[in-house]
Structure 1
């Protein structure tokens, strides 16, 4: 199993302060997912001072990339990954998933439309990078329109089971479904899991994947939102890092894996300088 990939300054102080809290210890023992995510998020600003953001390790000028967020996704959550891609001089767009809480098939159609628009404007296939539930939409689009993709990278996406998430999140999804079932617009419904509306999406998640599309699934066993085993799509190559679910968007260990995959997809040599850190420096 991969060990912690990045040491964050002052994390020991944070851990010591939090560790004195009875609630913190209880939350850790119960594996409360949002508490774990909140603690990891506290370190995000420190991690963003990492040299990875100062010295882009790759030059892929103009490479079109479509970002696909998951449930609860916002521009703020995606901003670290988006900023890194812009520093690499990628042409980045964010797919309109509307917080990722809508009908899966309807959202997949929106992602497909955004991808087609970017391909048309860029005149070349696009790399799709998707986080969490966004990976489900992205995989389905890759199955339907493989000619539009140069490659697919998923981050903590439950691909082999649609609801491979923590029980507390399942309860949240059930509540959203109940509200959607009584007619609230823009929300998923219980039928999305077994009804006709998302039958095609479910088939595309478990069906054959086009061999012409390179597919990398990045996951973490420390993910307390998504069951990491569901990220192991048989059609994908798998890359393990050690971080939280949200950390897959901003942790250098995860972002280095993204950079290496972009280098492989474009045939570009990673820029190496005496100041460019090696990801192995952060593996214990």
Structure 2
């Protein structure tokens, strides 16, 4: 693709506090979170076998979502990985691939599923909700930038990978930025060291809600406060909107 059209990410300004230093702090926080003992509070709302699809963030894969998978599984959900080894961004065929995963999981229950996406994975989840609203009950985004352009120290990697990205970036970002026709819970942190937290805010309505949590961008799936917010968000999905998977 023409690099001039890749304007969805920009380098952070010095005033933003984002850069190499914040990125390194993120790596430290992820390492710390990975080594921490998981906590599964018994006082949180529980699911009843409903299907939840986890979508990893940019330059991450299913392997980064194990902590959140274990948390949700412990609290009564049937959790599925997206089958992503490494999310390289909006490459040719990637979003259609995610659509096929949604369709397969929906076909397994006949009922809408829940999408939980980390960072770029959450942005893609919003696009999926536009394309398949009848198959998706709720979207939860974790530090997901939805306001473009996004200032991030990851900009250099995005530009390096730009030749692999599809030609419809502008249409995709417009789709991500619009409010999906399903409920969306957006978690964000003012301590985010990867994206400006303001880029993660959606316009609130009776179906769209922003929730602030403390902690690092990349460690949100490990974050007990974020995990609790996810459990409460899923508990508020209207009864009957999602139902238990067979088997």
Give the structure-1-normalised TM-score. Answer: 0.71
Is the 8 Å Cα contact of residues 95 and 110 (structure 1) preserved in structure 2?
no
1:252 lines up with 2:224 in the alignment: yes
Is the 8 Å Cα contact of residues 189 and 213 (structure 2) preserved in structure 1?
yes
Task: Give the aligned partner of residue 229 of structure 1.
Answer: 198
Is the 8 Å Cα contact of residues 140 and 205 (structure 1) preserved in structure 2?
yes
Is the 8 Å Cα contact of residues 105 and 198 (structure 1) preserved in structure 2?
no
Give structure 1 stretches of 5+ with no counterpart. Answer: 1-27, 182-186, 269-284
| Cα distance in 2 between the residues matched to 1:51 and 1:89 | 12
Larger relative contact order (Cα-Cα within 8 Å, sequence gap ≥ 6): 2
Is the 8 Å Cα contact of residues 220 and 241 (structure 1) preserved in structure 2?
yes
Which segment drifts farther, 130-139 or 66-75? 66-75
Is the 8 Å Cα contact of residues 105 and 201 (structure 1) preserved in structure 2?
no
Task: Give the aligned partner of residue 197 of structure 1.
Answer: 168
Alpha-carbon shift at residue 96 of structure 1 (Å): 3.4
Give structure 2 stretches of 5+ with no counterpart. Answer: 1-16, 241-247
Task: Give the aligned partner of residue 216 of structure 1.
Answer: 185
1:172 lines up with 2:147 in the alignment: no
| Cα distance in 2 between the residues matched to 1:93 and 1:165 | 31
Is the 8 Å Cα contact of residues 18 and 193 (structure 2) preserved in structure 1?
no
Alpha-carbon shift at residue 148 of structure 1 (Å): 0.7
| Cα distance in 2 between the residues matched to 1:150 and 1:29 | 34
Is the 8 Å Cα contact of residues 156 and 245 (structure 1) preserved in structure 2?
yes
Task: Give the aligned partner of residue 136 of structure 1.
Answer: 123
Change in CA separation of 1:204 and 1:264 when aligned onto 2, cut-off 3 Å: same
Alpha-carbon shift at residue 41 of structure 1 (Å): 2.2
Task: Give the aligned partner of residue 3 of structure 2.
Answer: none
Task: Give the aligned partner of residue 67 of structure 2.
Answer: 80
Specify the SS of the correspondent of 2:154: helix
Give the structure-2-normalised TM-score. Answer: 0.81
Question: Of the candidates 91, 104, 112, which is equivalent to residue 99 of structure 2?
Answer: 112
Is the 8 Å Cα contact of residues 156 and 217 (structure 1) preserved in structure 2?
yes
Task: Give the aligned partner of residue 206 of structure 1.
Answer: 177
| Cα distance in 2 between the residues matched to 1:165 and 1:91 | 35
| Cα distance in 2 between the residues matched to 1:77 and 1:150 | 24
Is the 8 Å Cα contact of residues 56 and 87 (structure 1) preserved in structure 2?
no
| Cα distance in 1 between the residues matched to 2:38 and 2:180 | 38
Q: Which digits, 9 at most, give the CA deviation of each residue in 1:39-72, with x for residues without a partner?
A: 21232145434343xx473331210111111112
Question: Of the candidates 76, 92, 95, which is equivalent to residue 89 of structure 1?
Answer: 76
| Cα distance in 2 between the residues matched to 1:90 and 1:242 | 25
Specify the SS of the correspondent of 2:188: strand
Is the 8 Å Cα contact of residues 97 and 110 (structure 1) preserved in structure 2?
no
Aligned positions, number: 221
Is the 8 Å Cα contact of residues 104 and 201 (structure 1) preserved in structure 2?
no
Task: Give the aligned partner of residue 7 of structure 2.
Answer: none
Q: Which digits, 9 at most, give the CA deviation of each residue in 1:212-255, with x for residues without a partner?
A: x1111000010010111111121531000010011211110100
* Larger helix fraction of residues: 1
Task: Give the superposed CA RMSD.
Answer: 2.4
Is the 8 Å Cα contact of residues 47 and 251 (structure 1) preserved in structure 2?
no
Could you say which structure has the larger radius of gyration?
A: 1
Which segment drifts farther, 245-254 or 39-48? 39-48
